[in-house]
Chains A and B, each alone.
Chain A
Amino acid sequence: MRYLPLTDADRSSMLATIGVDSVDALFRDVPDHAKLPGKIAGLPDHMGELAVERHLSRLAAKNVTASTVPFFVGAGAYKHHVPASVDQILLRGEFLTSYTPYQPEVTQGTLQYLFEFQTQVALLTGMDVANASMYDGATGTAEAVLMAARVNKRNKVILSGGLHPHYREVVETTCGIMGMDIRAQAPDWKNAEDLAALLDAETSCVVVQTPSLFGHLRDFTALCDAAHAKGVMVIVVVTEVVSLGLLPSPGSMGADIVVCEGQSIGNGLNFGGPYVGLFATRDKFVRQMPGRLCGQTVDADGKRGFVLTLSTREQHIRREKATSNICTNSGLCALAFTIHLSLLGEQGLVGLARINHANAVTLADKLSGIKGVSVVNDGFFNEFTVKLPKKAAKIVSKLAAKDILAGVPVSRLYPDVEGLDDLLLIAATEINSVEDMDALVRGLEEVL
């Protein structure tokens, strides 16, 4: 009971102050039938620190970790190196164990880093403003679709076939229940999709992804122009945010809302969460933007300071009229993002993006040399699609047995779509050495 400071003597004296003779008396409003008499069957009693460590370490040891094997798994989450100082700062109790900054005089630390985070996100995406983060990229995308509907009061949504299918499902689940008409396109693995032709006066927004799920790159300028001519909003999704160090920003192409998964900068893989959604838009839409916002102001002495602001959009004021039900952000993940990006700076981010791309180009060339294997993409950032002569899921399993984590079989993401069984998504990042790449090539040659 090392986390509980009260002693039995404390408890007795406190009960005397309250004027009751037992803690049970304080639970007198609980109906008798609902009171648990004592222990709960099936659960163990407390364990010491050593025992807990042993138990959890044993579970952890059953998993194959990304850093210990040749690793090429992406599809929306990426293994990057995170500098040691990021986690050391996150572990500072003043960041780790603080709450939502409701009292700005004693939370300037959190508020200032959120302001810096918002600025960094705006710069990266090429947009005017950003919020203080969302749960993750997928939930951020659903919120973006709802926001577009608030702006143009339209109901139809076009989802590109290059959008991550998990994101598509989150949009379908979240916006579907709101009665929106969601039209998801077939998986666009050849990068042949024509979305401009699908837009009409009923369309609220079109959601595209860059790089697409299959790794393809596109200039969305023409799509944005076509969309804007019809009053349609363009939402650009980025699942690999490091790509924004090399590729033109969505803002420069004319995007209205940009949503990114920010995991790649500062945050580990963590088996899928917690991650951090980045959300940015144009100034004119700021009052329709979901989530928390940190704003600059002055204090009573006229000094610059920061507060949470524009909360009149939010649930705790507007209740059933709120723009969304979100009451939190991914503060600590946003902090990790902001520290890592500060360490990288302009040179570091551009350099990191270039190394990612260079490794992917090198790997794609190596894989193209294997008989029966072809790279589908013309252009890509750090992930691309290969066509194999056999079912990709089986190949990935066989390589996993050789301690090579080769990538994500497209069939795992689209089990209901025919004709994708031989496609494999392969990601390369700065962590992949030439030896790792050669191990993948050799492994593939052996199992094909």
Chain B
Amino acid sequence: MNSQGRDSTPHSVSVTGDVVTFTGNKALQQEEALIFELDNPGAVGVDLPEPVTTKTRLGGLSPRPGVGLPQLAEPDVVRHYTRLSQKNFAIDTTMYPLGSCTMKHNPRLNEKMARLPGFGDIHPMQPVETVQGALELIDQLAYWLKTLTGMPAVAMSPGAGAHGELCGLMAIHAALDARGESHRRRVLVPESAHGTNPATAAFCGFTVDTIPAEENGRVSVEAVKAKLGDDVACIMLTNPNTCGLFEPQIKEIADAVHAAGGYFYCDGANYNAIVGRVRPADLGVDAMHINLHKTFSTPHGGGGPGSGPVVLSEALAPFAPLPFVVHGKDGFDLIEHAKDAGKAQPFGRLKGFHGQMGMFVRALAYMLSHGADGLRQVASDAVLNANYVLASLKDVMSASFEGPCMHEALFDDRFLKGTGVTPLDFAKAMIDEGYHPMTMYFPLVVHGALLIEPTETESKRTLDQFIGTMRHLAQKAIAGDLAHFQAAPRLTPRKRLDETQAARKPVLRWVKPAPQAVVAQAAE
């Protein structure tokens, strides 16, 4: 290793014929050490003022001897993280058709608005009279969410979609307890559901009863009715479902569950497909979380933060968690405690403060930009793009279901049968072509699933190029060029990574290497 933590000997020639360089770098593709290996003792990346006093009042504790952090000046830190950024696919750099994740364009206006000091630089515990604009923004966003979904109430605080699921199921739990029906502890979950659904139900102390999918990828009202009983708390259904299909019997299913005394939880991860065209209230939904980071374009940031407000029916509204915004006599007020909640019976608190305010600003900016007319067009274009992909590929790749699909197109691995190419190999070959792969092996109801979600922010030109690439790869696989797929990806900073080793012998942090002398001594 040289002083920058990089190899100081040339890399060997690999079988794929890579060009060798002294540093391991390849023009813009730079090797980057861990920040700890770049430690430059004595350097610092900030200028801090001198303390105004050297007096301490630590209540008898001794100051800590040290932390062990590396030291770098600002240019080295900026370069380090900029180089890391260049090792990422992102929706800004490539089409990202990751099914069920809704990777759409993230408008920069939203970022600019969230960074207004009036939103970014206010404290959750400031006096409410000093944050009236923030409370008004939350109220406006709540209004949009309620109006779009047709639901009377919304809980704003959940920190992500799965957290929203938890919120919805806790509201159902509380409502059942209030009805004196605490014996209702069974939750019906289709086998195609997101893994978070059964995990959430179990988290709330419910037992999970799985509903098998029909041949056509849907849940049938008969299958649901067969499971109903007076111990059913609710059904958790995703609509449009994870096969990319609208559940045509959804209202009948909701009615049957209601007639049996249960509630209907809708997983709203796929709301993007129907926003502005279908109101969940008209489908009989009692609770549905809305992933602001999917439908309303707040950026995913490599996995978060998300935001998962939950719209609620009249029956569940009183149980919404604390805190919430109300219209007070002197402007907006924040209800932080059950004793101030009037007739409401909040089931508790889900998050440290009031929710993901930064995401609220971004989502409202997006809603205002699109308006009601634009959001309806969002759903139309998302569905049109997915169906265009489905129609253009179904002769070379095996479509799992006849169309139309909603905002994502589901294929499976039948077209790869006998080729030796796995969906994973196929996905890795897409990477070399400059695309982030689609979602693989989900949903579980079809074998070797390939779930493609283009979203509404892809142009026809991009879709045509993508379709051309997919056709080329499919034909290449069918023609028997197995080696091409098994060697992919060739052009990435790293080749395929050994995930088994990572799990068997977990290395979850950097540890400072022992000094050479100590190592030598230990070896003697």
List residues of chain A with CB within 8 A of the CB of B88. Answer: 94-95, 98, 106-110
Question: Which residue of A is nearest B354, CB measured?
Answer: A272
B303 touches A305 (CB 8 A): no
A234, chain B: closest CB distance, angstroms = 17
The complex places the Cα of A268 from the Cα of B61 at a distance, in Å, of 29
The complex places the Cα of A361 from the Cα of B446 at a distance, in Å, of 64
Interface centre among A34, A105, A294, A335 (most CB of B within 10 A): A105
A270 touches B125 (CB 8 A): no
**A29 touches B (CB below 8 Å):** yes
A107, chain B: closest CB distance, angstroms = 6
Interface centre among A53, A75, A107 (most CB of B within 10 A): A107
Within 8 A of A (CB), among B324-383: 336-337, 339-340, 347-359, 361, 364-365, 368-374, 376-378, 380-381, 383
List residues of chain B with CB within 8 A of the CB of A83. Answer: 45-46, 74
B74 touches A343 (CB 8 A): yes
B150, chain A: closest CB distance, angstroms = 9
B331, chain A: closest CB distance, angstroms = 9
**B309 touches A (CB below 8 Å):** no
B199 touches A315 (CB 8 A): yes
A139 touches B163 (CB 8 A): yes
B279 touches A34 (CB 8 A): yes
Binds A, one of B111-119, B258-266, B469-477: B111-119
List residues of chain A with CB within 8 A of the CB of B123. Answer: 66, 71, 73, 77, 79, 269, 271, 405
A150, chain B: closest CB distance, angstroms = 12
The complex places the Cα of A38 from the Cα of B376 at a distance, in Å, of 8
Interface centre among A19, A44, A68, A71 (most CB of B within 10 A): A44
Binds B, one of A112-120, A153-161, A192-200: A112-120
List residues of chain A with CB within 8 A of the CB of B336. Answer: 412
B35 touches A116 (CB 8 A): yes
**B226 touches A (CB below 8 Å):** no
List residues of chain B with CB within 8 A of the CB of A216. Answer: 59
List residues of chain B with CB within 8 A of the CB of A64. Answer: 122, 126, 130-131
B404 touches A378 (CB 8 A): no
A217-B74 contact given A97-B92, A170-B352, A434-B52, CB 8 Å threshold: no
Question: Which residue of B is nearest A253, CB measured?
Answer: B61
B126 touches A112 (CB 8 A): no
**Extra pairs beyond A96-B301, A325-B165 (13, CB < 8 Å):** A25-B404, A27-B383, A36-B279, A53-B112, A56-B365, A76-B352, A135-B305, A270-B358, A273-B357, A315-B199, A319-B208, A348-B48, A358-B55
A331-B304 contact given A45-B371, A112-B34, A269-B124, CB 8 Å threshold: yes
**B184 touches A (CB below 8 Å):** no
B356 touches A315 (CB 8 A): no
Which of A10, A33, A113, A247 is in CB contact (< 8 Å) with B460?
A10
B102, chain A: closest CB distance, angstroms = 10
Main secondary structure of the interface of B (DSSP, over half): loop
Which of B51, B86, B384 is in CB contact (< 8 Å) with A6?
B384
Which of A122, A245, A306, A380 is in CB contact (< 8 Å) with B64?
A245
**A226 touches B (CB below 8 Å):** no
Interface size class of B (residues with CB under 8 A): 35 or more
Within 8 A of B (CB), among A323-358: 324-333, 335, 338-339, 341-352, 354-355, 357-358
The complex places the Cα of A346 from the Cα of B392 at a distance, in Å, of 56
B349 touches A247 (CB 8 A): no
B160 touches A6 (CB 8 A): no
Interface centre among A100, A345, A354 (most CB of B within 10 A): A345
Interface centre among A63, A124, A275 (most CB of B within 10 A): A63
**A320 touches B (CB below 8 Å):** yes
Within 8 A of B (CB), among A162-192: 164, 166-167, 169-170, 172-174, 176-179
List residues of chain B with CB within 8 A of the CB of A305. Answer: 494, 497
A315 touches B162 (CB 8 A): yes
B149, chain A: closest CB distance, angstroms = 10
List residues of chain A with CB within 8 A of the CB of B392. Answer: 17
B77 touches A119 (CB 8 A): no
B498, chain A: closest CB distance, angstroms = 5
A104-B494 contact given A170-B349, A271-B353, A362-B52, CB 8 Å threshold: yes
B59 touches A415 (CB 8 A): no
List residues of chain B with CB within 8 A of the CB of A295. Answer: 502-503, 506-508
A400-B127 contact given A177-B173, A325-B162, CB 8 Å threshold: yes
The complex places the Cα of A268 from the Cα of B437 at a distance, in Å, of 34
B303 touches A100 (CB 8 A): yes
List residues of chain A with CB within 8 A of the CB of B67. Answer: 123-124, 244-245, 249, 346, 349-350
A332 touches B301 (CB 8 A): yes
List residues of chain B with CB within 8 A of the CB of A34. Answer: 250-251, 278-279, 282-283
A345 touches B44 (CB 8 A): yes
The complex places the Cα of A396 from the Cα of B125 at a distance, in Å, of 11
**B480 touches A (CB below 8 Å):** no
B251 touches A31 (CB 8 A): yes
B196 touches A315 (CB 8 A): yes
A4-B129 contact given A30-B246, A332-B301, CB 8 Å threshold: no
A247-B301 contact given A76-B352, A98-B89, A170-B351, CB 8 Å threshold: no
B359 touches A274 (CB 8 A): yes
Within 8 A of B (CB), among A270-310: 270-276, 286, 292-301, 303, 305-307, 309-310
Question: Which residue of A is nearest B203, CB measured?
Answer: A325
**B456 touches A (CB below 8 Å):** yes
The complex places the Cα of A318 from the Cα of B430 at a distance, in Å, of 29
List residues of chain A with CB within 8 A of the CB of B166. Answer: 174, 325
List 11 interface pairs A-B (beta carbons < 8 Å), by A numbering: A98-B301, A107-B87, A116-B510, A177-B205, A248-B61, A298-B501, A319-B202, A324-B199, A342-B69, A358-B51, A415-B339
Which of B49, B304, B347, B495 is in CB contact (< 8 Å) with A330?
B304
**B448 touches A (CB below 8 Å):** no
Which of B54, B64, B384 is in CB contact (< 8 Å) with A15?
B384
B68 touches A18 (CB 8 A): no
B502 touches A349 (CB 8 A): no
**A101 touches B (CB below 8 Å):** yes
Question: Which residue of B is nearest A261, CB measured?
Answer: B352
**A372 touches B (CB below 8 Å):** no
List residues of chain B with CB within 8 A of the CB of A42. Answer: 147
B377 touches A1 (CB 8 A): yes
**A39 touches B (CB below 8 Å):** yes
User: What 1/0 flags go to B87-125 for Cβ under 8 Å of A?
Assistant: 111111100101001010111010111111111111111
A239, chain B: closest CB distance, angstroms = 9
A93, chain B: closest CB distance, angstroms = 3
Which of B358, B369, B458, B506 is in CB contact (< 8 Å) with A274?
B358
A85 touches B78 (CB 8 A): yes
The complex places the Cα of A300 from the Cα of B301 at a distance, in Å, of 28
A87 touches B55 (CB 8 A): no
**B70 touches A (CB below 8 Å):** yes
